[in-house]
Structure 1
Amino acid sequence: VAFYLSGLHAKYPGSEGVLKGWTNDNFLPGDLKSTLKFTYFANILILGYAREGRSVREFLLKNYPDSKITIWDQKVVDGAEKVGDWKEVKNWTDFDLIVKSAGIPLKNLPKKIYPKLTSETQIFFDSCPGEIVGITGTKGKSTTTALIYEVLKAAGKKTVMVGNIGKPALDYLEGIDEETIVVFELSSHQLQTLTKSPHIAVLTNIYPEHLDYYLDFKDYVKAKLNITKFQKKGDFLVYNQENPIKSKASKIPFGKEVTAQSKLLGEHNQYNISAAKKVIDIYGINDEIFNKTVANFKSLEHRMEFVGKFRDIKFYNDSLATIPEATISAIEALGDDLNTIILGGMDRGVDYLPIAKKILVSKIKNLILFPTTGEKIWQLMCELDKSAPGKFMVVKTDRMEEAVRGAYNLTTPGKSVILSCASTSFNLFTDYADRGKQFKDWAVKLGKTA
């Protein structure tokens, strides 16, 4: 995916300072490595007890068995001491170390505890003996991460893939040595408080997202750019050629110049492949291995995933398209073949005008809309084109079964349906994976009935 920040400064005043080098006094001071290695922590608090929190607890129990571990989480915690919802914590001074899960916004915590904060990602970076390739970006990071990992593996390198795309990083730590290349997908949440950067950093793109989590868009961009902030001479930064970034690392730009045969749909995936190729070139892996691996690489689940052809209609699951730009890329990838789109979800304050404009000039004929942004996008379309109600068939629903049933009823045989919501899922579904799974299940189930 292209790293588009052009035009950013006008829309988000102050963001130009982010690109020209910056200081951030909200981030954690110092290097926590010496603290973790040489200081005994009697009292440790884990904020949040999902995948990362559980992984941290196992790590701490093994490495600091005499420490008292307290857990604050909104849900019931099995097998560990739980005090309550982290929002109710009052006795911050009782703890020597506070491990914050990535899902808890830093802005919601008192600044006085920042010097005590660490994270699962920070502990991993401080403890990992192997070389880390870190990949971030609003979109494209999972595909780019998986491509890099698969090529390294095909070339016979000792490698592991960690982060959002796999198990928590600390679960792999025991099997990592100095010969291991760690391919780490890093979210902005994981990067925000990190005081180290990977040896090779890849930044795919930055678009407005997670605006409910950060102070503002500039704060989100700062978190993303943390992937290169602590790099030094001898490190590498792979970035889009249209957007120069300040860094002490050796800078390697990428575009969409790689023309490897691929099953991946869309121009945006050419950027992902190109970014992966730049990393692979650093390791001196030959083109034959790269090209063969890319040719056999299939799209990841929930990312322009081909579900199947049922009743002469093709179904694509793009549930991870949680911002308008991702859905625009999906529409462009399927082109004239796309007849029906299912979109809409939770409103996090991003600009939906571009997706409204894109649908109006596309060959899409049927809109199946989830609240609340589905209605918002439709209203924008009607404001832009007063004749829109006569051009599109519109179904509004809050149930996936009805959405898929509507897709079967409206879609022209031989054409395609895509779930690409341009929005997050939390108002109707557990997460994007739940949304995508329900879509696939109903596509298959209803496809068996005439």
Structure 2
Amino acid sequence: MTRADAFFESIRDRNVAFIGLGVSHADMVKLFVRKGIRVSVLDKRTEEELGKTAADLKMLGVTFVAGRDYLKNLEQYDVVFRTPGMKYYLPELQKARENGVVVTSEMEMFFDLCPCRIFGVTGSDGKTTSTTLIAEMLGAQGRRVHLGGNIGRALMPIIDEIQSDDVAVVELSSFQLISMRRSPDVALITNIAPNHLDMHKDMQEYIDAKKNLIWHQNAFSKTVLNLDNEITRSIAPEVRGQCYFFSRREPVRYGAFLGEDGYLYMADKKGVHKLFSREDIRLPGIHNVENYLGAITAVWGSVDAENIHRVAKEFAGVEHRIEFVRETGGVKWYNDSIATSPTRMIAGLNSFQQKLIVIAGGYDKKIPFAPMVPSVLEHVKTLILMGKTADAIEQAVTGDPNYRHGKPKILRAENMEDAVGKAHKTAAEGDVVMLCPACASFDMYRNFELRGRHYKQIVESLPEQQ
């Protein structure tokens, strides 16, 4: 009997509830129903708003509590799965815990029951690309890889399919990590900078959530930290297993680094290994060199150098991360919808040598925009602002002592169609237009993926000529 089998057997007579009917929970509910467990779904949307998914689950015998009071009586359940986007310290969840309810999450359960080795990645920026690179490298080595977490699909619903000699590669957000009590076998923290301060009590809680990636490791585990980031560098004394660093600024004793000659190197107990030139990396930008350094360090010892190099030359990138959309009338259009913070905008802007036309703005995560202003002044010639944060971004830019009127030119847009239309009208042959919001999407879209796809749809519909 597997650990998963034993778990489902142990809760067969329990009353289980799932908060929020997202894609991952819909699959989880079906799994639990198949295991013969009583399941309820709690969602603030009505059953009519939930549509066919809710109707299909009701046919399976699932009970629904929908509408405004969906969290009113959590004490009646034995086990509650919270959605990752829900604040961990929500009063209703706190009260449920105090009354003996087990409050957990899909990812916590997966870590408890996963039969194979886990590579876990977190960070404020670069975690999606880094996670994907690790999966690509392990796949190139011939391993059967399960990619999920905050990227791809939920992994708990396929727990029965995962074998002990497989490998799981998971991206983990601070929302997922805040309640984790297990850590991966290999942990990579790409960097830590202010983010999601609308959801966390303060910056320290956000940092501590990220640290949960490593706090529960053992002596045989591996931790990879960014030497160039002050916060991640300071975490090193808390590492319980092997500690590796990566750096694009200086050599490291154990880990990957960028040499002065432009080559990537890996240092381990056997010495320093020269890998390949940064020019071989297909993805643009120095931040992607950093992503490779972290991913290389994570997989070193599990993936041959030749396969790492092959991925560097062939991997074309992650959707929504400086993704080339099309060229029309000599204007190139890029989608960087995943840039949901000021630091991600900085990375996106620094990926180009020329000045850009940038569409920015969105939901307010209570992060200051001042740190990105120098990059905006240096790399942007036209800034098109939309969404809730438009005023705050414009004030940050125009209030900077180095700002000169019209440099950049600042335009306002009502929505994405208006923003792309203004960019299309403004752009001339040789220009680059990029959606690089520096903000989350929740004021207009359910997630950054939908925002990026809508942007691409509008750009694809533009006429061939200006």
| TM-score bin (small chain) | 0.7 to 0.9
The Cα offsets for residues 234-261 of structure 1, whole Å up to 9 and x where unpaired, read as: 0111111241421212111111323441
Tell me which residue corresponds to 2:121.
135
State the distance in 2 between where 1:105 and 1:87 align: 17
Question: 1:99-114 alignment to 2 at 5 Å?
Answer: 99-108=81-90, 109-114=92-97
Q: Is the 8 A contact 2:349 2:379 kept in 1?
A: no
Tell me which residue corresponds to 1:54.
26
Of 51-60 and 83-92, more deviation after overlay is shown by 83-92
State the distance in 2 between where 1:291 and 1:140 align: 19
In structure 2, relative to structure 1, the CA distance for the partners of 1:390 and 1:44 (3 Å cut) is closer
Which of 193, 204, 219 is the equivalent residue of 1:207?
A: 193
State the distance in 1 between where 2:157 and 2:76 align: 28
1:311 has 2:350 as partner: no
Corresponding residue SS for 1:129: coil
Deviation at 1:164, TM superposition (A): 2.1
Deviation at 1:376, TM superposition (A): 1.5
The structure with higher relative contact order (CA 8 Å, sep 6+) is: 1
Tell me which residue corresponds to 1:268.
287
Q: Is the 8 A contact 2:146 2:155 kept in 1?
A: no
Tell me which residue corresponds to 1:434.
450
Q: Is the 8 A contact 1:356 1:378 kept in 2?
A: no
State the distance in 2 between where 1:198 and 1:421 align: 31
State the distance in 2 between where 1:87 and 1:386 align: 51
**TM-score, normalising length: structure 2:** 0.84
In structure 2, relative to structure 1, the CA distance for the partners of 1:99 and 1:312 (3 Å cut) is same
The Cα offsets for residues 365-422 of structure 1, whole Å up to 9 and x where unpaired, read as: 2111113322222222222248633333322012212211211222232121111011
Question: 1:171-320 alignment to 2 at 5 Å?
Answer: 171-242=157-228, 243-245=233-235, 246-256=238-248, 257=257, 258=264, 259-260=277-278, 261-283=280-302, 285-320=303-338
Aligned residues: 415
1:94 has 2:76 as partner: yes
Code of the residue aligned with 1:125 in structure 2: it is: F
Code of the residue aligned with 2:342 in structure 1: it is: P
In structure 2, relative to structure 1, the CA distance for the partners of 1:90 and 1:339 (3 Å cut) is closer
Deviation at 1:339, TM superposition (A): 2.6
State the distance in 1 between where 2:296 and 2:168 align: 17
The Cα offsets for residues 85-120 of structure 1, whole Å up to 9 and x where unpaired, read as: 475433333211111111211121342423511111
Percent identical among aligned pairs is 28
Tell me which residue corresponds to 2:392.
376
Corresponding residue SS for 1:201: strand
1:341 has 2:358 as partner: yes
Code of the residue aligned with 1:90 in structure 2: it is: K
The Cα offsets for residues 231-286 of structure 1, whole Å up to 9 and x where unpaired, read as: 01101111112414212121111113234411211111111101111122131x22
In structure 2, relative to structure 1, the CA distance for the partners of 1:280 and 1:386 (3 Å cut) is closer
**TM-score, normalising length: structure 1:** 0.87
State the distance in 2 between where 1:387 and 1:92 align: 53
Tell me which residue corresponds to 1:409.
425
Deviation at 1:298, TM superposition (A): 0.9
In structure 2, relative to structure 1, the CA distance for the partners of 1:386 and 1:155 (3 Å cut) is closer
The Cα offsets for residues 70-95 of structure 1, whole Å up to 9 and x where unpaired, read as: 11112223323111247543333321
Deviation at 1:179, TM superposition (A): 0.3
State the distance in 2 between where 1:39 and 1:54 align: 19
Corresponding residue SS for 1:379: helix
Corresponding residue SS for 1:44: strand
Corresponding residue SS for 1:46: strand
Corresponding residue SS for 1:365: strand
Of 226-235 and 86-95, more deviation after overlay is shown by 86-95
The Cα offsets for residues 330-378 of structure 1, whole Å up to 9 and x where unpaired, read as: 111113x233111111112101012223222x14221111133222222
Runs of 5+ unmatched residues, structure 2: 48-53, 249-256, 258-263, 265-276
In structure 2, relative to structure 1, the CA distance for the partners of 1:86 and 1:198 (3 Å cut) is farther
Code of the residue aligned with 1:347 in structure 2: it is: D
State the distance in 1 between where 2:402 and 2:123 align: 36
State the distance in 2 between where 1:253 and 1:110 align: 37
Code of the residue aligned with 1:355 in structure 2: it is: M
Corresponding residue SS for 1:98: strand
Code of the residue aligned with 1:232 in structure 2: it is: N
State the distance in 2 between where 1:35 and 1:129 align: 13
Tell me which residue corresponds to 2:274.
none
Of 428-437 and 220-229, more deviation after overlay is shown by 428-437
Deviation at 1:36, TM superposition (A): 6.0
State the distance in 2 between where 1:230 and 1:87 align: 36
State the distance in 1 between where 2:5 and 2:246 align: 33
Tell me which residue corresponds to 1:20.
none
Code of the residue aligned with 1:51 in structure 2: it is: V
Deviation at 1:38, TM superposition (A): 3.6
Code of the residue aligned with 2:285 in structure 1: it is: G
Q: Is the 8 A contact 1:197 1:230 kept in 2?
A: yes
Q: Is the 8 A contact 1:151 1:289 kept in 2?
A: yes
State the distance in 2 between where 1:241 and 1:34 align: 42
State the distance in 1 between where 2:244 and 2:227 align: 8
In structure 2, relative to structure 1, the CA distance for the partners of 1:420 and 1:93 (3 Å cut) is same
Code of the residue aligned with 2:423 in structure 1: it is: A
1:71 has 2:41 as partner: yes
